[in-house]
Amino acid sequence: LEEDLADERFVLARTEARLAEARVLDEIDRAWVRWSASRLQSALLRDLLLELQELESIAQRLADVGALSHIEARVFSMERLSRAAESIRIEAEVATSALDLKRGLGLPPQSALSFEPSLVVSDLVAEAEARRERVREGRAIVRAERVYLVAERD
């Protein structure tokens, strides 16, 4: 009976360890997706800001020659300023999510490690499925070991 109890505790501890590992890896996946999305969004906003600066300049020249009212030209300035503020917010998200990702990986915040953004969902799903399958297999192995131990005792 004590052996059975010890076996059950061992099985439970191993299962809990595998589940904890899967949770940590899932959290790292989420941090990676948050960081990648923020980083890609930041790059898109930088490109948009360059285009808006050019449009703002064109609108100002049109306003100077009277082809556009100064109020209409200011709409482009307001849009550029709005997107600049959004860009600052996104850059803060990039920095925060990079720190979260490094923390999840066990790296110090000042680590020189750099990441390349990637949002290939099929790879992330495949990795998550593989982890889930390892947990399931672990349970099957545990059940098989338990049957073996019972058979060995009998």
Classify residue 73 by burial, with Cβ atoms within 10 Å: 0-12, 13-18, 19+: buried
Q: In this predicted structure, what is the pLDDT of residue 150? A: 65
What does the DSSP assignment read for 96-139? HHHHHHHHHTT--TT----------HHHHHHHHHHHHHHHHHHH
Q: In this predicted structure, what is the pLDDT of residue 130? A: 76
Q: Maximum distance among all alpha carbons in the chain?
A: 99
What does the DSSP assignment read for 53-102? HHHHHHHHHHHHTTSS-HHHHHHHHHHHHHHHHHHHHHHHHHHHHHHHHH
Q: In this predicted structure, what is the pLDDT of residue 14? A: 83
The CA distances from residue 107 to 44, 61, 113, in Å, are 28, 51, 9
Judge whether 56 and 49 are in contact, CB under 8 Å. Answer: no
Q: pTM for the whole thing?
A: 0.67
Walking along the chain (154 residues) 10 residues at a time, the average pLDDT comes out as 76 83 85 91 95 95 93 94 96 93 90 82 69 66 64 64
Positive or negative torsion for Cα 44, 50, 56, 62: negative
